[in-house]
Structure 1
Amino acid sequence: MLNGFARMGSLLLLFGVLLALVSTGYSITCTSCTGFNCTAGNITCADSNACSTLYSATVTKDGGNLASFARACTPKDLCNITKSMSYSNVKVKMAIQCCETDGCNPEFRELPPDNETANGVVCRSCRSESSDSCYTDETIECKGNENMCLLQTIKISGIGTGSMSIRGCATKSFCDTTSQSLSVDGINTKSDFFCTSGSVDLHCSLLICVFFSLALLKILS
């Protein structure tokens, strides 16, 4: 089993991905729930959406594992894909499968296979359970299709407050989402995904450079 921090991190990460799947509109009706006993009610979604089943597995190098499951509305261009990311000693794999009729529940899509072949990309690697800034000198050698360097931040405000950030290697499909916000029952959540391609020492996108410049100014002020 994953420890408490890893479990919370995995659940927040899943919620961050779910933010990318939620959209508003009045066309198709889909089941909306999390957990393997998925019995929650339906929601109406945008006409550009489909009903989706999202399945994820989080595995640590010491043998811990956590499976997560959810149903939601998903933009059609994010349907029927697999994605993965790795950071520190953790690997997260996800699969999204869709169908496009009212109330349909798509079957599980197979998770992406493991690929331990180094691809030449090196990324920063860290996780913060209580901050939206995550920066260390620790690096991770990317493998397989995980050829992007990812920074994901999650901020929660309103009735509940919290933040989390993760840095590591990710597939391009993980990076196709940029920023999403959601407000439910007085809880506001914002998830941002920043990605670069290439070596940690050679590439820094404008958004990430600005992000860390502001963080440095905050520390020095």
Structure 2
Amino acid sequence: MKKITCLCVSGNSSNTYCPDTKVTCPKGTICARVHALSTAGNTSVEINKSACLPVYQCGISGSASSLNGTLRLVTICSTNNCNLPEPELTGPEPASSINGLTCPTCVSENAEWCNANDFMQCVGNETTCSTYTTKVLGTPMVFRGCATMTNCILSKLTHSTNGSDFDFKFDCINNGNPLTCIQCLSTNSTSCTGNAVTCPNGYFCGTSYTESTVAGVTRYIRSCTPQTQCDKIISVTTLYGTTKMSTSCCTSDNCTAPILAVQPPSSELNGVTCPSCQSSQSTWCHDAQTVQCKGEETVCALHSTTIDGKSSAIRGCARPSACDTQTYTINGKSIIYQGICSCGGNVSNTYCPDTNVTCPTGTICATVHALTTMGDASFERYTSTCLPIYQCGIAGSATFLKGTMKLVTQCSTNNCNLPAKFSAENLTPNGMVCQSCMAADADCSSSERMQCTGDEQWCFFQAADLTEMTSAKSAIRGCVTRNICDLGTQTYNALGIKSNVKYICSSGSKHFLTNLFTPLLVLCTLIMRNFF
């Protein structure tokens, strides 16, 4: 005969005394015993605790399996202070029966998410794909794999009283099948409704809320959201105001996730200094002004918003979470939030180790990564140098006759090893057509035209004059990103070479002239000379 376990869960859940933790449970909770066994590789942690739990978390028995990890968990409750027995752990039943569900699986330490490269076959009553986080010997860990639906009912199982603590969080995908989520956008309310759409596998129903005092806008979005964007809080502070953004998720069909509150950073200065600017017409801005960062806003970010091809940008202090890209499509309307981040710091007298110099006041240690191609030949260079702070966090490109130039800058004052990666290549034609030529002279002219692609939405003419032992001139025409044109004006001498680079950029009927004399463009010009 099959064994039957009866759980004591009846009674008034108000002010129940929980003897093991020596507390009186708050109204709406009940005295409970939690027994859990979590394994990761050869490490296992067992929890057998008394705690105050919400009534709906009573009588739960569940399990989860992942790559090199398992979880077995059960709860029982009482309101009459009975001596609660140790709940018996169970696993997937029957454990040997493959149920046809396949889930992505991975394990990661000190993280709330892991990217799965492997898949596992689920067994028994583990009939949903799940992500759960917990602590193993004090180390935060995340597990993805198969789970019982009872884990999804728990959602969160947390308790901390007098040293009796545990913390589990479960996110489940709808029975292993794609969710359907409402898709809508509102700019004047904290709610909206729209059509239900079927989400890709691995997506949850998300709520994104943006509030900006810089542009004076609010934006409320419901849509399918990748799991990596869930529970994310973003803030960017500039001289002109702040932008706050949060994304939360829920895991049932057409559910509405609550708006996450974004608390302002603490008032304590953290030593980071960032350039500050705004643009209402571009994904780029620059300015010599700076802002002192506070609290959790420890990176410098260029954060842009593009809605149906119309862009705006701000630059300032940000939480590290602002450094990602989020993309939504609402009723055919494309919405893109993009963050490009760099380290920040005090710009005065920063030591730049690779160049063995102390940067002058107003400049900052930077890594410049440049790649120039000419036909089948290419030249790549990483260089550390001192740059004005407003030239930090640049990611731009130019394309011309038989050649391309890509460059990116990142800055720091703590001598960290700065990664400097190029923006992703975008070969989609953008409608701009530019003259393309190259000459070892003060000018070049050609009937040849080229189709511009991606973010290279401007035509440029570059005239370079380099003086070393002798004087050399060069001229290039082609397509370029706006940020190359927007760098500003200054005079620069590097490696015994005096350089004067003049750019003329145009887009449609708009023309502007800038004399660029920057370390960044000097490097690229020097690289170009290697091919002549």
When the two structures are superposed, what TM-score results if normalisation uses the length of structure 1? Answer: 0.70
Structure 1 match to 2:87: none
8 Å CA contact 2:265, 2:297 repeated in 1: no
TM-aligned CA distance change 1:204 to 1:179, over 3 Å: farther
Unaligned runs of 5+ in 1: 1-25
Q: Is 2:503 aligned against 1:220?
A: yes
Q: Is 2:271 aligned against 1:120?
A: yes
Q: Is 2:130 aligned against 1:130?
A: no
Distance 1:100 1:27 in 2: 10
Aligned sequence identity (%): 28
Cα deviation code 1:47-70 (max 9, x no counterpart): 21111122233236xxx9654322
TM-aligned CA distance change 1:169 to 1:206, over 3 Å: farther
Structure 2 match to 1:47: 201
Q: Is 2:227 aligned against 1:79?
A: no
Structure whose residues are more often strand by fraction: 2
8 Å CA contact 1:196, 1:203 repeated in 2: no
Structure 1 match to 2:404: none
Alpha-carbon distance, 1:98 to partner = 0.9
Give SS of 1:211's match: strand
Return the match for 1:144 from 295, 298, 301: 295
1:36-185 equivalence runs, <5 A:
36=189, 37-59=191-213, 66-154=217-305, 161-175=309-323, 177-178=324-325, 180=327, 185=332
**Higher RCO structure (Cα 8 Å, ≥6 apart):** 1
Structure 2 match to 1:6: none
8 Å CA contact 1:197, 1:203 repeated in 2: no
Give SS of 1:77's match: helix
Structure 2 match to 1:23: none
Structure 2 match to 1:202: 365
Distance 1:115 1:105 in 2: 30
Give SS of 1:195's match: strand
Distance 2:250 2:368 in 1: 36
Distance 1:155 1:113 in 2: 25
Distance 1:132 1:66 in 2: 17
8 Å CA contact 2:299, 2:343 repeated in 1: yes
Distance 1:217 1:90 in 2: 26
8 Å CA contact 1:118, 1:141 repeated in 2: yes
1:8-19 equivalence runs, <5 A:
none
Structure 1 match to 2:180: 29
Return the match for 1:193 from 311, 321, 339: 339
Unaligned runs of 5+ in 2: 1-176, 348-363, 371-392, 398-406, 408-479, 487-501, 505-532
Return the match for 1:211 from 396, 420, 425: 396
Return the index of the structure with the highest Cα Rg.
2
Alpha-carbon distance, 1:101 to partner = 1.3
Alpha-carbon distance, 1:73 to partner = 1.6
TM-aligned CA distance change 1:38 to 1:123, over 3 Å: same
Structure 2 match to 1:14: none
TM-aligned CA distance change 1:198 to 1:111, over 3 Å: same
Distance 2:202 2:316 in 1: 31
8 Å CA contact 1:117, 1:143 repeated in 2: yes
TM-aligned CA distance change 1:133 to 1:179, over 3 Å: same
Q: Please, which moves more after superposition, 31-40 or 198-207?
A: 198-207
Alpha-carbon distance, 1:173 to partner = 1.1
Structure 1 match to 2:98: none
Alpha-carbon distance, 1:135 to partner = 0.9
Aligned length: 188
TM-aligned CA distance change 1:133 to 1:66, over 3 Å: closer
8 Å CA contact 2:206, 2:230 repeated in 1: yes
TM-aligned CA distance change 1:103 to 1:149, over 3 Å: same
Cα deviation code 1:122-151 (max 9, x no counterpart): 111101112333111011111111111111
8 Å CA contact 1:95, 1:112 repeated in 2: no
Distance 1:108 1:191 in 2: 18
The Cα RMSD (Å) is 3.2
